[in-house]
């Protein structure tokens, strides 16, 4: 609130929002059709995803097979991914030393 030189506060009120009208309900068969179409596309995209992965084989299936057949050493040999950016280390003590004025 900003006071003007005349002493009256400079306040503006927005009109109240008008209530939204309720949308008309869809007929029963339109709802059934929408549900069937939605289910069809979900199944179609799921199958396409499985086919793109090579029949359901994921990246960890070979690793799990090695663990069961051989030993848990397969988990230890796995390398960590290289970082995409340098690590951000916050050293508060070094920052305080840098920000202190030099005493001469």
Tens digit of each residue's pLDDT (9 = 90 or more) over 56-84: 555 666 666 666 666 555 455 667 778 78
3 backbone dihedrals φ, ψ, rounded to 5°: -85, 135
H or E element that contains 50:
helix 28-52
| pTM confidence score | 0.33
Total count of residues recorded for the chain: 104
Domain boundaries, the chain: 30-79
Tell me the pLDDT tens digit for each residue of 11-62.
Answer: 778 888 888 888 888 899 999 999 999 999 998 888 887 777 665 555 666 6
């Amino acid at each position: 609130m900003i006071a003007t030189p005349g002493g009256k506060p400079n306040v503006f009120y927005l009109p109240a929002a008008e209530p939204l009208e309720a949308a008309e309900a869809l007929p029963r068969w339109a709802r059934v059709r929408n549900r069937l179409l939605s289910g069809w596309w979900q199944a179609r995209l799921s199958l396409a995803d499985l086919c793109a992965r090579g029949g359901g084989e994921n990246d960890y299936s070979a690793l799990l097979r090695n663990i069961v057949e051989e030993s848990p050493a397969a988990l230890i040999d796995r390398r960590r991914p290289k970082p995409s950016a340098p690590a951000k280390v916050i050293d508060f003590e070094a920052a305080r030393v840098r920000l202190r004025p030099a005493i001469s």
